[in-house]
Structure 1
């Protein structure tokens, strides 16, 4: 099968007509599959629209051409659907998970997440995957009969487990949650609607997770070049990008750097998609899963990079960490952003009357933990712009974040 062609539905794909349903029963749609309905609900949610003004790496007012959480999510969805199409998976479920994976991110990207995690340390901390689950199961208020979006079990499972199981079969947290425990929002919801935290997620969810990595690597290189944090020839220090840049220069001698960078990003995405498809095909041929149930109970993930490509991808992440994420300008701005989030949390804790009216109701009766979680939910939903406006309203001095 040539790359890009749609494969017939595979037996191990999630079947929207044989899914595990929704927490709250609803009549089926006459025109859409359950997974297509999930995807449409995510797209029309308030939380999805807010991603337009949430940081990827650069604060929104640094330039119109840098990625935001919204444009990142759209790029993840494109890559994820391309892989799902080649592997015969359900494209609608894959797209749902790609578009929903960042719904729980607070303002200012990972800086905001670090700050909220510190603020909520005494109350279970903050985890953006748990927050995404909270958004789609409780915080969206768009329907008369339930809170949240009432997504299918398969979509909720993918949001929570796209990076792998959270517990062992006996319920003990996996290594990454050994110290902190399962995030409160996930543990509480799992008591109501068992997401089988001990198993792997569907192939659709695994594909969405790798599409996220591919999109991150490619567009952070693009944004880093645009911002002047490094030059395209600096990327020659890595074997993969050195080879791609060499091919570009041989085919297009004298090409402008902006076009060289764009071509590099395209070739990187194609390289990683092809590598994941080849590795997944080999693993599926060996495992021979006959259903999505078999995928979930397999001992290892079935979507992965080949070992050599995993090393190439890790080298790119290491380069970006040193040259972009730890760049002195980015570090300074993110430090100031963390302080803004910490300031807002402390102020609302001390003076809950400063919250908007719809968030104040009930705070008088809440315990310290419940009030802290409410404030955390409010701040997590903020855009970068709104967080700055709130800080300017409540404090005499607000960093410019430039």
Structure 2
């Protein structure tokens, strides 16, 4: 953690409510509370399963494509750099970056959409942030005295609020997370660090897959074109793929620097002297400048139009929907086929939620194995 924190950063003081855990925990003199939370997350099963979950391309396509885990590590690097530059709590920021995707189901966003559609038929919804909270509070079982990872309130608040705002009227069960206040800057940074990471990585993986062409990207993504031209002037005659890689790194650095500079300007314009000033602000302070935001949106539209919705990935998305829907319906109709350990939660949570929780925890390979097994069972 930075030795010097700005006044508006989260400071780890024993009397701070953000340090509170649901269950008593012994004090460790060599590790701060957020460092301990970081270790608990990294050592969890849910975190390890990120290695087997799709980011954009399934791991079956190539070992070189990002998984949820490798994407998470890229977000960590960007988020921690921003926190250091802004004088924020780096340990809290890193911990939130590590846990930010832990609630995603298999097959990426396609799997999440399919699971949400299944739950809607039962009056429920699937939200990966809320599922992440359920994972760290309930599903992880590593301690003799309690369920869950027993994380600090500061980390649990960041899990809920890093990427969206929830209202107390709609989510009264989340009232303890100060829904009427903005999250600390450490949490606000995570969503945009995530954006920077995947905007860079998805262009890279898209070209690696052969679905995107470097020339076409240069014609349609202004920030990448500008970075590529700058790199090409420095390295004339170098092979295109190496120039593209350099341009991606320059683009990532450009967006990161913009996020740092714009956030700092916003904090200074507010005159923030404390964390309470950050919390009372009516809007988020960690944002891009208008130019960077426009370029971000342009690139995001390009990725949706040319990559995320291309025929090859749409076929994968259709397969994901088929697998998730078939398994969901199978266990809804035959709940006795669920693993024994899930039965105890049905009375309290309802069958639909329990089935969704089980599916959401699966890796891509495990859910495909379960799908093959039930297809054979049905054929009998």
Q: What does 1:47-58 correspond to in 2, within 5 Å? A: 47-58=46-57
User: What whole-Å deviation, never above 9, does each CA across 1:134-155 have from its counterpart, x for those lacking one?
Assistant: 1011111111122111111111
User: Residue by residue, what CA displacement relative to the aligned partner does 1:218-274 show, whole Å, maximum 9, x if unpaired?
Assistant: 001110010011111112222221111111222222322321221121111100111
Structure 1 runs (4+) greater than 4 angstroms displaced: none
Structure 1 position 300, deviation (Å): 1.5
Q: Please say if 1:393 is aligned against 2:376.
A: no
CA contact (8 A) 1:225 1:261 kept: no
* Aligned-pair CA distance for 1:362: 6.0
Q: Partner of 1:126 in structure 2?
A: 126
Among 224, 229, 236, the alignment partner of 2:211 is 229
Does 2:288 correspond to 1:305? yes
Partner SS state of residue 123, structure 1 = coil
Alignment of 1:240-279 (within 5 A): 240-279=223-262
Residue in structure 1 matching 2:192, options 204, 210, 214: 210
- Match of residue 145 from structure 2: 145
State the alpha-carbon separation in 2 of the partners of residues 261 and 19 from structure 1: 47
Cα deviation for residue 166 of structure 1 reads 1.3
State the shift of 1:164 in Å.
Answer: 4.0
Q: 1:83 to 1:391 in 2, by over 3 A?
A: same
Contact 1:80–1:95 under 8 Å retained in 2: yes
Query: Could you say which residue in structure 2 is the equivalent of 1:11?
Result: 7
- Alignment of 1:381 onto 2:361: yes
1:322 aligns with 2:305: yes
Aligned length, in residue pairs: 373
Secondary structure, aligned partner of 1:395: helix
Task: Kindly provide the CA deviation profile for residues 366-400 of structure 1, in whole angstroms up to 9, marking residues without a partner as x.
Answer: 38x611111111100000010000001111499xx
Q: Which residue of 2 aligns with 1:199?
A: 181
Spell out, residue by residue over 1:16-57, the C-alpha distance to the aligned partner (whole angstroms, 9 max, x if none): 125311122222222110111111111011100000000001
Structure 2 unaligned blocks of 5 or more: none
Distance 1:324 1:271 in 2: 23
RMSD: 1.8
The whole-number CA distance in structure 2 between the counterparts of 1:138 and 1:7 is: 34
1:23 corresponds in structure 2 to 22
- Whole-angstrom distance in 2 between the partners of 1:64 and 1:397: 32
Q: Secondary structure at the match of 2:24?
A: coil
Q: What displacement does 1:108 show?
A: 0.3
Matches of 1:43 and 1:359, distance apart in 2: 24
Unaligned 5+ runs, structure 1: 1-5, 173-180
Kept in 1, the 8 Å contact 2:54–2:67? The answer is yes
Aligned to 1:175: none
1:3 corresponds in structure 2 to none
Q: Tell whether the 8 Å contact from 1:123 to 1:372 is kept in structure 2 after alignment.
A: no
Could you tell me how far apart the structure 2 residues matched to 1:375 and 1:244 are? 46
Q: Secondary structure at the match of 1:104?
A: coil
How many angstroms apart in 1 are the aligned matches of 2:318 and 2:249?
A: 32
Alignment partners' CA distance in 2, 1:231 and 1:49? 33
Aligned match of 1:176: none
Instruction: Name the SS of the counterpart of 1:126 in structure 2.
Output: coil
Equivalent residues of 1:47, 1:381 under 8 A apart: yes
Alignment partner of 2:177: what SS? coil
Contact 2:328 2:359 in 1 (8 A): yes
Number of the residue aligned with 2:83:
84
1:28-177 matches, cutoff 5 A: 28-121=27-120, 122-167=122-167, 171-172=168-169
Please state whether the residue corresponding to 1:16 is helix, strand or coil. coil
More displaced stretch, 267-276 vs 24-33: 24-33
Distance 1:351 1:115 in 2: 20
| Residue 355 of structure 1: aligned partner | 338
Q: Distance in 1 between matches of 2:333 and 2:164?
A: 38
